[in-house]
């Protein structure tokens, strides 16, 4: 499935939380990841920011998202 639930090319914190919890993570870990992805606190993370910053163990998740266009 796509991480970017509304298809606007950016991830919101709630979209990231849904993806992380669906993959077996916690909302707290999603929030921590989001803080890393969005250091300027803009409220959204582009797909390219996400791909550049997502931890390697989640690479399958990231590649699934990018191939699911």
1 burial type by CB count under 10 A (0-12 exposed, 13-18 middle, 19+ buried) = exposed
Structure tokens at 31: 């929030």
Determine if the pTM surpasses 0.75: no
pLDDT value at residue 4: 77
pLDDT tens profile 29-64: 999 988 988 888 888 888 777 677 665 554 455 444
Residue 11: which pLDDT band, with cuts at 50, 70 and 90? confident
Structure tokens at 56: 């390697």
- In this structure, is the dihedral angle defined by the CA atoms of residues 62, 22, 39 and 46, taken in order, positive or negative? positive
């Amino acid at each position: 499935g796509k991480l970017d639930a509304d298809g606007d090319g950016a991830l919101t914190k709630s979209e990231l939380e849904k993806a992380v919890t669906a993959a077996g993570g916690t909302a707290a870990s999603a929030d921590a990841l989001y803080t890393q992805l969005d250091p300027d606190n803009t409220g959204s993370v582009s797909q390219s920011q996400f791909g550049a910053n997502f931890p390697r163990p989640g690479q399958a998740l990231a590649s699934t998202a990018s191939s699911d266009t």
